[in-house]
Structure 1
Amino acid sequence: MKINFKRSIIGLSFLSGISFSLSAQINPSQITVPKGFTVKIIAKDLGSPRHMTVSKNGDIYANRKADKGFVLLKDTNNDGKIDETRVIGEEVGTGIVAHDRYLYYSSNTSIYRYELDKNYNFPKNQEPDKMVDGLIDKGRDNAKPFVLDDDDNIYVTVGSWNDPCREPESGAGMMPCPILDVAGGIWKFNGRILNQSFSNGTRYATGVKNAVAIDWNKETNSLFTVVHGRGQFHDFYPQYYTAKQSAELPAEAMYELKKGDNAGWPYIYYDQKQKKKILAPEYGGNGKKTGGEDAIDPLMAFPAHLGPNDLLFYTGNSFPKKYRNGAFIAFHGQSPELKKGYFVAFVPFKKGKPTGKWEIFADNFAGVNLANPSGPIQHRPCGLAIGLNGELYVSDDLNGTIFKIEYEK
């Protein structure tokens, strides 16, 4: 089944010379993975699949950011191949979670829920329940990814449409930043109550500009995220930042978030080179002044502009022991510093905390050498999900592809 779609991709200044392909497909053997792992393509031409989930009967669901409806992928005869594809609904969005007998999904303003049948199949002739409405959408960084905990609470990201919370005329940072009242944080809702408005939720954590990569860690019973960092240092503050510094700062940072936590945005950012929380220039910083004494520290820092778009704790049993309870991260962008990007990274965890260095787990989705590109980018990893047999699924929202990564020893 081929789904036609049209969408535009906005280039960023540090991606000069990079183009994107909306038709090419790389051979899965070009994806580099550790020894013992294999990569297959199980679906393509799906439009813009973002986050994914797998229900208890093995059905795969993928929400879509730029195309109407989410996609159901079904293996009807258990031969490991997708032989049924359906588009459901009219909304566009990012978040989707199969939780017990329910399928939750989000648009850019709302969260909905379907009840699956007793065999966890998608229901016939059922309209979804609206769980939450009125989440702010200003057009930029408006995805509403979410997770649920074991008590059916929903934690949803409301990203900020404004990088620095800067006054449009003076350029000074707004103090306090009014955006934090409705965005730049994680909000908590009751996943058992229908027709909630934004005012029914509580702000669980604040100071996270855009936490698209989000997951609930069952081992620690807590919320984790990897946050998109801000930009435009050199554009507005060339007296403090060179163009190179602007391209390499700030970190894309991983946090464990507890109730009431503040990660510091927009007042500070994390400088992975100085290993410090630095006062933002809009609030009197100069690239060296520290700040954020009341803000939590990140657990791990990644190079700037990698675009973390999904986070997944591996709870399967088929991958080697080192991967158990560790975190996979789908990076949707590229680092000018590394001259690499569009990969899936892995962070080893021990007793609920990152241990050791992060590593690139699955690479070359781009299909080109990013240090000296000779053609267009072909795939951008965006969503992650674990299959019933412990396999890892990776979605690509550029060329509508879903990859399956298995361990064969």
Structure 2
Amino acid sequence: MLFRNKNPSIISRISVESESPAFNFLLMLRNTITSFAVSVLALGLFPQSGCSQPLVSPDNGGLQLPEGFQALVVADNVGRARRLAVRDNGDIYAALMDPIDLGYVVAMRDTSGDGVMDVVKYFGELDSQCKSLEIYKGYLYVGSTTQIVRFPLDSKQLLPTGPYETVVSGFPTPKNHRSKNITFDDSGNLYVSAGSPGNSCQEVDRTLHSPGKFPCDELERYAGVWMFDAETLGQTQLEDGFKFATGIRNNVAFQWDPLKKELYGVNNGRDNLLQNWPELYNEQESAELPSEEFHHIQEGSNFGWPYTYYDHEQNTRIINPEYGGDKLKRPEEGLYDDPVLTFPGHWAPVGLQFYNATQFPQKYQGGAFVSFHGSWNRAPLPQQGYNIAFVPFDGVLPEGGYEIFADGFKGTDVLHVPNQATYRPTGLTVGPDGSLYVSEDKVGRIWKIMYTAGKGVFSKADTAKEIQIVQEVTRTSNPIRRADPKGEALYNQYCLACHQADGSGVPNMQPSLIGSERLSSSDDAFLIKLMLEGSEWIQDREYSNLMASFSFLTDEEIVLTLNFARARFANASSNIQASDIAEMR
């Protein structure tokens, strides 16, 4: 496990095995004393001081919040955190994109009563990255790529009391959008959202002018919501799952609202309109479209993927170009469900939390918060998102539009490259006192946002030493003079959206080209094959998004593109000739 000082930059490791009965007894004694002290202060047996006011971080830990709200950084550097869960005693659990100490779940506890997590442990040796978890009837349910499992929890212990049990398995492993996102209703049902394995169900994924498959076979096991019994073990998708809704490309922000007794999700729309259909879409249209759709998901809902997308500028569904669309053609009226609200394209919604507590002012009660991870595919235009929006509700539907509730995650006013963002918000949950917890997966920070009317007191831990954020973006010093302008134009048209203007790529999605050993090596055959066939043939790929085939380019265009990439990002010369491309076609 990790034991963290109040200064989150100081970390000392001790193994889980070293937690002797004596250690656990001392920890329990410390918790008892702390709880007693807090209770005494609450009862007024000692004069209250400033310490009884909410502790907050200077500058809200980097966040920009509405007047009256303040934030405390409760944990930092805990891993690439996604969805959160908070127990009644304040313990925090977060799903992780990458394992730490083999664990895909991080568990955190505050033992001193100041709200900052000082005990951090890792568990959950699962099959893949985890983006979703939720506490339900004494268990911590976790969604990974192929299964939903649950860990037994004890009311006093931080870590699970036993190994996990498999609730649902048999989900196939997709090429993209691997997370299985979960939520529960109040009738004993578990809902699982499974994203599409590709972008728009093309015959060749993410490829220029490749037509869509009709009917789309990906809808059989993906791009929808399946319902299961929440407590029965050993279920499988095929044998026990009921397809509750379909036509949902990638629904990571996903929640049953127990107050409204309805299911909702916020969908990630398709990519590559300009790259795949340049005769129809310009840079601005490809950046702004399609909408990110807020769905009210009901039994039998069909939200139209991959045959359509929603255009918030025309306020209608539009047939996708893979299926004969021309950016104006509409589907048959009533064939597909519409969203109840839309957001600009590529903001990447990954967290949804309805606010049914009372700490926040009345206007927020009953509404929903949506976290936007931020775009990577609006290039060459500036990236957008990287914020938390608030959506007011009237009954079961949004009332009006949305407003930005929390901002500042980007760390800059204008962001061109995702890797240069300071934070990328992800998970949302409401704690037992009505505070809103927010996670992010760039450096692994977790905030607690409170309504304090501005009366919070700065945390001594944060005042003593501000946490330094280390940017991991490296810039090449390669001289631009060596880059051929024709090759640069081809890179900008076909490669920039994924690999970015500076070649830094997108973590876990597209690799960085900066200093790439592949580009700087003499293995020309590998690079040529990659351009001609895409990346599907590569074994044990590190990145979730497949590179498309660029065999439609001429031999000379492929040469220009590869030579530019080598010169610009690897500071290497290239002797690839058009005849080399022709020989390998």
Structure 1 and Structure 2 fold alike (TM over 0.5): yes
The alpha-carbon deviation at position 375 of structure 1 amounts to: 9.3
Aligned residues of 1:268 and 1:292 also touching (Cα < 8 A) = no
Of structures 1 and 2, the one with the larger relative CO (CA 8 A, separation 6+) is 1
Distance in 2 between the 1:116 and 1:374 partners? Answer: 37
Alignment partner of 1:81 out of 100, 105, 116: 116
1:371-382 aligned within 5 A:
376-382=420-426
Provide the residue aligned with 2:304 in structure 1.
Answer: 264
The alpha-carbon deviation at position 377 of structure 1 amounts to: 1.0
Is 1:326 paired with 2:372?
no
1:159-238 aligned within 5 A:
159-168=195-204, 171-199=210-238, 200-238=240-278
Is 1:303 paired with 2:344?
yes
Provide the residue aligned with 1:151 in structure 2.
Answer: 187
The alpha-carbon deviation at position 139 of structure 1 amounts to: 3.6
Aligned residues of 2:175 and 2:198 also touching (Cα < 8 A) = no
Distance in 1 between the 2:159 and 2:119 partners? Answer: 15
Q: 1:139/1:121 Cα in 2 relative to 1: closer, same or farther (>3 Å)? A: farther
Aligned residues of 2:153 and 2:161 also touching (Cα < 8 A) = no
Q: 1:39/1:376 Cα in 2 relative to 1: closer, same or farther (>3 Å)? A: same
Q: 1:27/1:375 Cα in 2 relative to 1: closer, same or farther (>3 Å)? A: farther
Distance in 2 between the 1:374 and 1:322 partners? Answer: 33
Distance in 1 between the 2:390 and 2:173 partners? Answer: 31
Q: Which moved more, 1:235-244 or 1:77-86?
A: 77-86
Pair member with larger Rg? 2
**Which structure has the highest strand share of the two?**
1
Aligned residues of 2:131 and 2:180 also touching (Cα < 8 A) = yes
Distance in 2 between the 1:29 and 1:95 partners? Answer: 24
Distance in 1 between the 2:61 and 2:447 partners? Answer: 11
Aligned residues of 1:279 and 1:292 also touching (Cα < 8 A) = no
> Secondary structure at 1:69's aligned position in 2?
strand
Identity percentage over the alignment?
36
The alpha-carbon deviation at position 100 of structure 1 amounts to: 2.7
The alpha-carbon deviation at position 338 of structure 1 amounts to: 8.2
Aligned length: 388
Provide the residue aligned with 1:97 in structure 2.
Answer: 134
Alignment partner of 1:243 out of 265, 277, 283: 283
Letter in 1 for 2:371: A
Q: 1:390/1:3 Cα in 2 relative to 1: closer, same or farther (>3 Å)? A: farther
Aligned residues of 1:346 and 1:360 also touching (Cα < 8 A) = yes
Aligned residues of 1:368 and 1:375 also touching (Cα < 8 A) = no
> Secondary structure at 1:341's aligned position in 2?
coil
Letter in 2 for 1:347: V
The alpha-carbon deviation at position 334 of structure 1 amounts to: 3.7
Distance in 2 between the 1:88 and 1:56 partners? Answer: 20
Alignment deviations for residues 271-304 of structure 1 (CA, whole Å, 9 cap, x no partner): 0100010011111100000115311110001000
1:387-398 aligned within 5 A:
387-398=431-442
The alpha-carbon deviation at position 372 of structure 1 amounts to: 7.4
**Which structure has the highest helix share of the two?**
2
Is 1:39 paired with 2:71?
yes
Distance in 1 between the 2:418 and 2:397 partners? Answer: 40
Aligned residues of 1:268 and 1:278 also touching (Cα < 8 A) = yes
Can you give the 5+ residue segments of structure 2 that lack an aligned partner in the other structure? 5-10, 14-57, 454-585
> Secondary structure at 1:179's aligned position in 2?
helix
Q: Which moved more, 1:151-160 or 1:271-280?
A: 151-160
Letter in 2 for 1:266: P
Is 1:316 paired with 2:316?
no
Alignment deviations for residues 204-223 of structure 1 (CA, whole Å, 9 cap, x no partner): 10000000000111222111
Is 1:400 paired with 2:444?
yes
Letter in 1 for 2:148: I
Distance in 2 between the 1:148 and 1:271 partners? Answer: 31
Aligned residues of 1:330 and 1:381 also touching (Cα < 8 A) = yes
Distance in 2 between the 1:375 and 1:85 partners? Answer: 26
> Secondary structure at 1:155's aligned position in 2?
strand
The alpha-carbon deviation at position 248 of structure 1 amounts to: 1.1
Can you give the 5+ residue segments of structure 1 that lack an aligned partner in the other structure? 5-25
